[in-house]
Structure 1
C-alpha cells in the first residue's frame, strides 16, 4: 500500500532532485523567480504588520503576525519561486555530488539579490499605495519601530537569531515535501513559520522588506511624529538607525546566521541521517 506521505528519506531525495533543477536554471528564470519570491515574502511581512500594528500585547501581536506571515512561503512553495533561505538546502546537493560548489554559489548570489530587488519593489508599492496611513499613521509609525529595532540588534544576537530562523524555514520546506496534497503542504509550512515569527527570529529576506519599509516610512514627517508620540523615539534616533550602515549591520549577521541554520543545522544534518536510506530505499521500509 502506498504511503499517504513521503518518508524523510524520500523527502531528502526529492529535495536533492529539486536542487539540481534549481542549480541549472537559466539566469533570467532564476532572477524572475527570485524577484517573485522576494515580493511574496514582503507581502506576507506587510500583511502581518497591518494585522498587529495597534495591538499592545507583544505576545499576542507576535502570535497574530505568525498566523499571517506564512502566506509568503506558501505562495513560493505552491506556485514557484527562488528563496535564498530555502535554497541553503542546496548544500544537500553538494554533499550528494549532484551540483558543484560554483553552481550553488551562483544560485545563492543571484537569488539573494533578486529577492532583495523583489522585496524592495513590493515595499515601494506598499508605501506609495498609502497603506502606512492606516490608523492615522500608526501603521507607518509601527513600521518605523520594527525597522529601528532590527537595525539596533548587536551582531551576535542577530547571528544567533538568524540560525534559529532558518532552521525553522528549512524544516518548513522539508516538511512540505513530505506532503502529497495541498492541504498537507500548507499545514507543514504554517506551523514552523508561525513559530519563527512568533519567536521574533531574524530572516534576511523578510528584513529586506521590514527595514526598507521603515526607511520609506521615515521619509514621512507624520509617521515620524506618531512614532515619537507612540513609542518614545526621537527623530534623530530614527534617522540614525535607518541608514545604509544600520541596514547592513542587520543584514550581514542575519544572512550568515541563516546560512549556518539552513546549511549546517538542517541540510548537512538531515542529509547525513538519511543518505543511506535513499541510496538504498529498502532500508527505509524496515
Structure 2
C-alpha cells in the first residue's frame, strides 16, 4: 500500500483544514449531519455486538467500520475539524481567521448533533417496536451507559469532571490520529488500516467522544435512562468537547505540524 511521508501528509492536513473553512454552509452542514448519523449507527452496532457476545472488546474491534465509512465518503466530525482547521490559521493561509474557524466548528457541531439525534430516534423506534414495548436488551444497555457516564462522574464532583475532561483529551488524541490515518495512504486498504487502529483503541478504552455521545445520551434518555438532559450537557458533552479540542490539537495537530512543517534548526556537529 502506498505510504506518504509525514511531511507530505501533514501538508495535506493543512490543505484539508483550509478547504473546509471555505466550504459552503450547506455543504458543511450536510457532511456533518451524515458523519454524525453514520458514527451513531456504528455505536449501535458496537453496543449490539457487546450485548450479543457479552464481551466489549468485540464491539471495540468492529466499531471503526463506521469511522472508516464516513471518512472515505468525505464527511466531517467535530473531532476532526478541531485538528485540521486551526493548522490553516497557524500556517497563515490567506483568508483564514479565528472567527471563521469558530463558525465552522459551530456548523459542524450542529450537523453532527442533528445526525446523531436522528439515528437515536430511529433506533428508539426499533428498540421499542414503535414505542409500544419496553426497550430491548440493546436499548436497556444504552440507557445504563448514559447513567454511568453522567451521574457516575457527578458523584465525584471536581475529580469526576477532571476525569471526564482527561478521557476527552485521550479520546481525540486517538481519533485525530485516525483522521490523519485517512491521509497517510493513497489506497483504500491503507487508509482503512491506518484509521482502524487508533479508533479501536479509543473505543476499547471507553474514552469520551463528543459525537458518539451525541447519540448515546439522547438515545439513553429515550430509553428511560435515569439522568436528565442537563446532566448530559454539564456532566458529559461540554467537558468532552473541550477535552476533545485540547487532545486533538495538542497531541496530534501541533506535534505533527511543529516537527514536519515548522521544524527546528538542524543540529551542527562542527
Higher percent of residues as helix: 1
Q: Paired residues, what number?
A: 250
**Matched-pair contact (CA < 8 Å) for 1:91–1:268:** no
1:145 maps onto 2:144 in alignment: yes
Aligned residue for 2:33?
Answer: 35
Aligned residue for 2:6?
Answer: 8
TM-score by length of 2: 0.88
CA distance in 2, matches of 1:110, 1:73: 20
**Matched-pair contact (CA < 8 Å) for 2:127–2:139:** no
TM-score by length of 1: 0.83
Correspondent of 1:260 among 231, 246, 251: 246
* CA root-mean-square deviation: 2.0
CA distance in 2, matches of 1:179, 1:91: 23
1:78 maps onto 2:63 in alignment: no
Q: Flag structure 1 segments of 5+ consecutive residues without an equivalent.
A: 219-237, 278-286
Secondary structure at the residue paired with 2:23? coil
Correspondent of 2:211 among 201, 205, 216: 205
CA distance in 2, matches of 1:82, 1:29: 10
1:162 maps onto 2:198 in alignment: no
Q: Cα distance, 1:55 vs. partner?
A: 4.4
Aligned residue for 1:183?
Answer: 189
Aligned residue for 1:222?
Answer: none
Q: Cα distance, 1:276 vs. partner?
A: 4.0
1:111 maps onto 2:108 in alignment: yes
Aligned residue for 1:233?
Answer: none
Q: Cα distance, 1:270 vs. partner?
A: 1.1
Aligned residue for 1:221?
Answer: none
**Matched-pair contact (CA < 8 Å) for 1:95–1:268:** no
**Matched-pair contact (CA < 8 Å) for 2:167–2:208:** yes
1:245 maps onto 2:244 in alignment: no
1:125 maps onto 2:111 in alignment: no
